[in-house]
Structure 1
Amino acid sequence: MRIREKTLTILLVLSLVANVFLLAVVLVPADDLSPALSKPEETDTLPTATLTPLPPGRGPANGSAASMQVPVILQKIEVDRGGPFLYEEVIEEGAMVNVSVEVVPGKGRVLIQTTPLMGIVFQDAANLAVVVAANHSRVNLAESDIIFSIQGPEEVSEIDGPSAGALMATLLLSVLEDFPLNESVTVTGTIDENGKIGPVGGILEKAEAAAVSGKTLLILSDENDQMIEYREEDRSFGGLRIARQRPVVMDTKEYIEENLGIRVKYVDTLDDLIADVRAPAAASVVGVS
């Protein structure tokens, strides 16, 4: 019995020694792991577009600027007293505001100087316009400040909305790529991060304002090719006259050109827009002896 107990004890000791030996051989410190299997110190990121400065002699010079008039929608509230009640009616009308951009040495900021004040949506549109223009021209604006200035009618307290996004991107590109603008042209439209020109509202009112200001061409998104006009219809039922507003879908270009005398052109992308707002090159004169 004692011999059996001794034998079991010896076997247990030998097993314990063997396990310790195996652990010592197999396990190694974590610092000795292959670099290919070790945890990276930094998480990999997706590649992004690199904006590089233009060569000397190209791109914006200090204080370079451009400006253009853009149509906007103004909302006015008129109060009408009908007996003991007051009625408020919102009236929309078009107006032209002057938008300018200036590129100056700075810290990569987008600054907006306005009269009247601008809303948050307009500021977002300005920031997006800068990104789109910088990507299009491949110019690094990290050491420049972009200053947008907007001058509108004095009676307006605030202008908001994204409809000047396409114009602001075009203005900045005219500075970055150094091309002149056609002063007889104006545009209304949003812009997205891919440079696509998007639709806006109030086309008829904006077209009226552009025509009155002397513009000869209004550029719109190709998604604004139709607009709705509400026409009044009268119906009689047993001596009772009922008036209602009936929506009528119209071709935007055809209606504006026939009724307002200003040309309309549709665009889809920022490149299309640039081709239409760029001032035509002066004709060269060749002398013949």
Structure 2
Amino acid sequence: MKYHALIILLAASVLVNVYFLGVAPVSSGTDLRELQNRILTLEQENADLLARVQQGSMTVQEVSPETDLSTLPAQAGAPAVTEPGSVIDGGATLQAPVIVQQIEYVRDYPFIRQQVTEGGSLVNISVEVVPGKGRVLVQTTPLMGVVFQDAANTAVSVAREQSDANLSGNDVIFSVVADSAVSEIDGPSAGALMTALLLAVLEDRPVNGSVTLTGTIDEQGRVGEVGGVVEKAKAAKANGKDLILLPHENSRYIQYRDVVRTIAGLRLTFKQPEQIDTKEYIEEEIGIRVEYVDGIDDVMLYIT
């Protein structure tokens, strides 16, 4: 509104000039000199007003979200675009293992029932840090769930604390691309990976693409338990990964083995749960190396 007022004042000043030049009577040489001095004063005021209007327009342009802030000149008295602790543009990408649920319809005469099967897959997760307003943005090729968005926010919070980076003038953009078999991205199991990716960007550290991981992240930077680690390890192996990082809480894996018993002459088979070491099972049965991690510091030792 204040810029509108300046424009109105500028227009009024021009009208006054016109009045003095063409309308106001001139009665003497003294009056003529006073009139000339007045015109010079008004012209200077016009120039000052015009400069203020132009300055106001540039200020609006600087804060416009559509403007590339890095291309604008710094204005007198305005804060610089880049401040100490700010983050320059950068990005990193890793593949994350996820669980894909598929619903199959099985004929069980005379009925048809649903059967849910689970398998592993890998999705590409990227992070970029760009000039912005301190936002956390997530774009996914499939649909995105609320839990995944929460995990992204926690990842940014932890990475910011770990690196002491000032992200108030930057946006963090997570991008997730999955194949057509994945219809929705949700859950917290990519939280640790997103945190590690962002830390790698903030600290300008290269990312090891032969490694992947699964695990939640909390505000203290602890990596938490997830499900489907065996299926995720199979997907990582199938996609050429050399190492998968698992939360230490996933160190025990429950396997069911058949136990045959004879009761009253009847031979019965039971499924008996058995706890085994997850790392040992995956390395022997699937053929991919496993390391356990407790916190984001452990993750960074392998990821970068």
TM over 0.5: yes
Q: How many residues align?
A: 223
Give the counterpart of 1:77 among 103, 110, 114. Answer: 103
| 1-structure distance, mates of 2:226, 2:180 | 24
Match of 2:130 in 1: 104
Match of 2:284 in 1: 258
Distance 1:87 1:235, change over 3 A: farther
| 1-structure distance, mates of 2:191, 2:211 | 16
Distance 1:224 1:69, change over 3 A: same
The C-alpha deviation readout for 1:253-284, integer Å capped at 9, x for no partner, is 11111111111101111111101111xxxxxx
Q: Does the 8 A contact of 2:97 with 2:123 survive in 1?
A: yes
Identity across the alignment (%): 57
The C-alpha deviation readout for 1:102-146, integer Å capped at 9, x for no partner, is 111111111111011111101100000001001111111111111
Match of 2:214 in 1: 188
Question: How far off is 1:205 after superposition?
Answer: 0.4
Q: Secondary structure, in 3 states, of the residue corresponding to 1:170?
A: helix
| 2-structure distance, mates of 1:237, 1:165 | 49
AA at the equivalent of 1:174: A
| 1-structure distance, mates of 2:100, 2:265 | 40
Match of 1:229 in 2: 255
| 2-structure distance, mates of 1:241, 1:114 | 52
| 1-structure distance, mates of 2:97, 2:181 | 16
1:271 aligns with 2:297: yes
Match of 1:61 in 2: 88
Match of 2:8 in 1: none
Question: How far off is 1:241 after superposition?
Answer: 4.8
Give the counterpart of 1:143 among 169, 175, 181. Answer: 169
1:170 aligns with 2:216: no
Match of 2:244 in 1: 218
| 1-structure distance, mates of 2:242, 2:286 | 10
Q: Secondary structure, in 3 states, of the residue corresponding to 1:227?
A: strand
- Determine which structure has greater relative contact order: mean sequence separation of CA pairs < 8 Å that are 6+ residues apart, divided by chain length: 1
Unaligned stretches of 5+ in structure 2?
A: 1-81
AA at the equivalent of 1:266: Y
| 1-structure distance, mates of 2:259, 2:109 | 26
Question: How far off is 1:228 after superposition?
Answer: 0.8
Match of 1:28 in 2: none
Give the counterpart of 1:247 among 239, 259, 273. Answer: 273
Question: How far off is 1:206 after superposition?
Answer: 0.5
AA at the equivalent of 1:173: L
Q: Does the 8 A contact of 2:87 with 2:166 survive in 1?
A: no
Match of 2:227 in 1: 201
Q: Does the 8 A contact of 1:60 with 1:178 survive in 2?
A: no
Distance 1:81 1:241, change over 3 A: farther
Question: How far off is 1:248 after superposition?
Answer: 1.5
Q: Secondary structure, in 3 states, of the residue corresponding to 2:166?
A: coil
Question: How far off is 1:79 after superposition?
Answer: 1.4
Calculate the TM-score normalised by the size of structure 2.
Answer: 0.70
Unaligned stretches of 5+ in structure 1?
A: 1-52, 279-289
Matches within 5 A, 1:29-68: 55=84, 60-62=87-89, 64-68=90-94
| 2-structure distance, mates of 1:263, 1:170 | 19
Q: Secondary structure, in 3 states, of the residue corresponding to 2:209?
A: coil
Q: Secondary structure, in 3 states, of the residue corresponding to 1:163?
A: coil
Question: How far off is 1:87 after superposition?
Answer: 2.2
**Structure holding more helix per residue:** 2
1:119 aligns with 2:148: no
| 1-structure distance, mates of 2:83, 2:155 | 19
